[in-house]
Structure 1
């Protein structure tokens, strides 16, 4: 209290020394006296942030009536004067979460009643009883969220106070924006939540008694808060401790504020709070009380280790949400009640003696209560997933149909060519592995099998890819791919084909049309690592599609072609040299086997 006496006596002396010209106005400087800060989302505490955010899309709107007793005292000639003896304000707060990691908030205080002692003879007029306080807009970002595996809720917030308050009512700092960054952390402990916050208030530094003691100042300060709150009930309690550490010669202060909250219905909550203040910092009352209500999404969400508020009688909830309740009032808790919506017997785990599928077994003993089955099979029918008339329990291949004399498995190699039927493209005709089990075919009878013949319909020389000697083939057929004896060119950084690529692509179209045994060709376009990966992927997809459209224009059926842009993800050479990058900018033609999966989708 010594600091308060020095501050106030210095102020009294300043009043006595002011000129008569100063009598017409308040000798006290303009500053924001109000110290009540609401937590707009109020998921955990009404006053202290616990690192929590509203669920995405939720909104909360609060109205609070607040009374502070003796928030500003003056010591004069051994007598304590209540310069602001009582102060009544209304606070409107709102919060909204547009994203799962972002919450925006607003708090607007309005002074509607104030009383105090006027010392007009010394040049002091009592502050105004009515006026708008400092509106505060806040943005809160969630950094961490506690889950079932543990962790904490961690968030940061920036509050901005707008210079719109009434200066004559001690409800605004001088015409200057206020900044109030905060960091807050909290954790759930079963039916309790605990949290702390650390904030910084930036506002102008002012001397309260500049003529006598310039060291009596208000200005920047650290703000601290801690809270403990109960959870999981309509009636909840909380305890808040709030304090400030001045960064000027202003005295410090702290407040203890217990409160109670009651959820009337899912969209309306009532609350009240009272507390006492310690310290002589301006704005710290001897005691304060407040009461109000919140509207909108007022039901708190269920946190890790918490019970749900909705499990209270009269609130809507799901059976899974409240495992400890007895929804059907049959003496069996929801978590162990096999029939939680229908009253039953405790001996039957909450069910009645029913036989839904009429198979002679009551439901509580029936492993398949909705399908008739055999008692020897616990009431379930004999399963035959592959429909081969061999029950699954004796079927060695329950998902593949096969004869009973082969234990329900299919005959694996009907044509005895060493390739299982499920991989044999011609399961009833023997053929080599490279032909996927199909016999060799040679449509033009030139001794070159169709599978490697680039001129399948025209007799040719085996040394010339099966083409006549006067023809230079530009496409070589290899297992799983078509190898180009040339390069496909595009306009730089574009998907438009250059005309010098047409001859090569005409050969590709010819080969595909002459080989109907190739059911699907994937046109794959690649590039080097210059540029952004997503842009490269989009460009190569467009180039692959341009090649596909050209081949379709040359008579290749559209269903036999698929375009795939890989971007820079599959280099075949180094990207550190120009030659390597040139090799990586390429178009490939992959043959998809008729028995294999479809080509992968564009990424």
Structure 2
């Protein structure tokens, strides 16, 4: 409770009447100064009264109005006699805050005195105070230095306020000249609550008083003010506890106030609040107790940090599923965070979705890649892909854009080099060769009986049974008419396109073979994945892996124009994705030789 004890020092300049001649003089008005100690936080981010270092988000506007009652904010003493110069004071505070950019908040406050009454001191030669009028309006600016929303560990801001001397006379509401309030604000959220500290200086005109007045007095001047707040966050109903105090830099008592109250979000654009507390100390403007009730409009929904639930997570407030990951909107026991059908009740094993089969193909929609077209399980519920309509699936069709024959792997029967060997059997389809050479000309650089096109060691004589390599040398790269096969796998970092070091040796040998076979006009590096994860993500990952292999081969001297990179994702499996070994087989890199038409 406020202590208005025997050492109450007042700011009454020019109090008249010493001794018995007081009644013979005309009553005089108390000298004006700003009695109000309440300083609202106009943006109210985190606290209504204490700056937390957090500003309004960019572009947001907050308007607030508050009714305020103070009991005995100004009590004077002479000996054992105490009088309430201001016993009851009712004010209205209008405040606005706006952030044009994320690091700047501008504010304005206009306090209005609606009713002010105290003891009748005319017998003491003191005229009554005005009962109502405009108090000192103020403007403020705050600049954010650090922000938790931006990933910093704290909210830190600097600010300055200016009190304008436009108040009504005889109201104890103005210092007569501008006052200035520089401040520093620091705060941090800790899960469900926030802590904040504020320090400010009050620079105001010095009002020196006389010791000969009937009532004890003190000078009015500069002060150091401080504030601390503890507030809950992340809920529609929030509480805050504020401690505010001052240390004067002139001959004046200090004071401390303790204020507690709730604030409630009515809807995303309106909140109501109330604050009440007691004062300790005899500094002018420190009431025995004060009560405040108000409302705010505009952008009043508090911001949230990454990973925090939104304050809008209430059934009657609009919100998105992403804002409230811990809620269960459809009541199926599956949280929004993992519910793939958050607006329809489902089951846990279906990730919150009900069992559905729109196309009646026996494959649930959640597993069906083509939910409106009947398909087969092997194609993930889609019809067999056959772009040219020749009955050969695109995955197995060597000529997917040209109708062909099933026994010719989807290609028409052709013999481009007219050597009597059909292209599907011709190992050299664009160069005429005898049937006994499988359509290839007699090209054997090392004269080992294995044509260069199929010779894994074209510059060293070897055995046909060893793919053209010497008996003592195990070929690690095997050539076929359409592909280059490696005897060991190319490995990448899990979920990444970076090559493992263990793959350097086999890729270096592959580059050597490509450089020894300049007759290969184009080699397509094709990368594949299994079906785990998102199809689009798998497609991007396979393309990045194909590009990594191509870059490695170029670094080893292979001409860039002879290499192309293709990522096929999960669309061309060679084994079942239902087993670990099958998925491992599907994660592969292939090298296809492309011959000109």
TM-score range, shorter chain: 0.5 to 0.7
Instruction: Supply the distance in 2 between the matched residues of 1:28 and 1:280 (Cα, whole angstroms).
Output: 18
RMSD: 3.9
Distance 2:105 2:220 in 1: 31
Please give the secondary structure, in 2, of the residue aligned with 1:207: coil
Pairing partner for 2:248 from 213, 222, 246: 246
Count of paired positions: 417
From 289, 303, 322, the equivalent of 1:287 is 289
Query: How many angstroms does 1:329 deviate by?
Result: 2.4
Q: Note the C-alpha offset of 1:393.
A: 11
Residue 44 of structure 1 and its aligned partner are, at CA, apart by: 0.9
Change (3 A) 1:12 1:299: closer
1:260/1:273 contact within 8 Å kept:
yes
Q: 1:327 aligns to what? A: 329
Distance in 2 of aligned mates of 1:106 and 1:146: 25
* 8 Å Cα contact 2:9-2:216 kept in structure 1: no
**Which of 296, 299, 323 is the matching residue for 1:297?**
299
Distance 1:9 1:64 in 2: 28
Q: For 1:222-261, what aligned pairs fall within 5 Å after superposition?
A: 222-261=224-263
Deviations along 1:82-141, one digit per CA (max 9) or x if unpaired, are 110010001000011111111100000010101111221322122211111110100111
> Which secondary structure state, in structure 2, belongs to the residue aligned with residue 184 of structure 1?
strand
Taking the aligned partners of 1:262 and 1:36, their CA distance within structure 2 comes to 21
Give the whole-Å Cα distance in 1 for the aligned partners of 2:378 and 2:165.
82
* Structure-2 change in CA distance of 1:170 and 1:382 (3 Å): farther
The answer to whether 1:337 aligns with 2:339 is yes
Q: TM (normalized to structure 2)?
A: 0.62
The structure in which a higher percent of residues are helix is 1
3-state SS, counterpart of residue 364 of structure 1: coil
CA distance in 2, matches of 1:288, 1:316: 35
1:201 is matched with which residue? 202
Classify the secondary structure of the residue corresponding to 2:348: coil
Cα contact 2:29–2:170 (8 A) shared by 1: no
| Structure 1 residue 230 displacement after superposition | 1.3
- Change in 2 beyond 3 A, CA 1:42/1:186: same
Structure 2 equivalent of residue 153 of structure 1 = 155
CA contact (8 A) 2:4 2:281 kept: no
- 1:181 is aligned to 182
Q: Is 1:278–1:286's contact at 8 Å kept on the other side of the alignment?
A: yes
Question: Structure 2 stretches of 5 or more lacking a match?
Answer: 399-410, 412-422, 425-480, 486-513, 525-556, 563-597
- After superposing the two structures, state which structure 1 stretch, 120-129 or 51-60, moved more: 120-129
* TM-score, scaled relative to structure 1: 0.62
Which of 308-317 and 321-330 deviates more? 321-330
Residue matched to 1:406: 482
1:293 and 1:417, CA in 2 relative to 1: closer, same or farther beyond 3 A?
same
Compared with structure 1, are the counterparts of its residues 328 and 415 closer, same or farther at alpha carbon in structure 2 (3 Å cutoff)? same
Secondary structure of the 1:188 match is strand
Distance (whole Å) between structure 2 residues aligned to residue 272 and residue 22 of structure 1: 48
Q: How does 1:31-70 map to 2 (within 5 A)?
A: 31-70=33-72
Change (3 A) 1:319 1:407: farther
Distance 1:189 1:376 in 2: 51
- Give, in whole Å, the separation in 1 of the partners of 2:319 and 2:560: 59
What SS does the aligned partner of 1:324 have?
coil
How much has 1:355 moved relative to structure 2? 2.3
Cα deviation, residue 346, structure 1:
3.4
Aligned counterparts of 1:370 and 1:229: Cα–Cα separation in 2: 52
Is this contact kept in 1: 2:23–2:124, CA < 8 A?
Answer: no
Q: For the structure 1 residues 295 and 416, does the alpha-carbon distance in structure 2 shift closer, same or farther, using more than 3 Å as the test?
A: same
**Residues in 2 aligned to 1:148 and 1:368: alpha-carbon distance in whole angstroms:** 41
- Match of 1:113, SS state, is strand
| CA-CA distance at 1:186 after TM superposition | 1.0
Deviation at 1:353, TM superposition (A): 1.2
Would you say the 8 A contact 1:23–1:122 is kept in 2?
no
- Contact 1:324–1:334 (8 Å) recurs in 2: yes
Q: Which residue of 1 aligns with 2:348?
A: 346
Q: Secondary structure at the match of 1:121?
A: helix
Q: d(CA) in 1 for partners of 2:222 and 2:54?
A: 26
Matches of 2:27 and 2:522 in 1, distance apart?
Answer: 102
Alpha-carbon separation, structure 1, partners of 2:86 and 2:396:
87
User: Structure 1 CA distance, aligned partners of 2:222 and 2:172?
Assistant: 17
Identify if the C-alpha distance between structure 1 residues 25 and 102 changes in structure 2 by more than 3 Å, giving closer, same or farther: farther
Q: In structure 2, do the counterparts of structure 1 residues 290 and 266 end up closer, same or farther at CA, with 3 Å as the change threshold?
A: same
Structure 1 unpaired stretches of 5+: 396-401, 423-432, 439-603
* Residues 15 and 27 in structure 1, CA contact (< 8 A), matched pair in contact too: no
Q: 1:93 to 1:155 in 2, by over 3 A?
A: same
Q: Which residue of 1 aligns with 2:278?
A: 276
Mean CA deviation greater in 368-377 or 351-360: 368-377
Shift of 1:9: 8.8
Q: CA deviation at 1:437?
A: 9.0
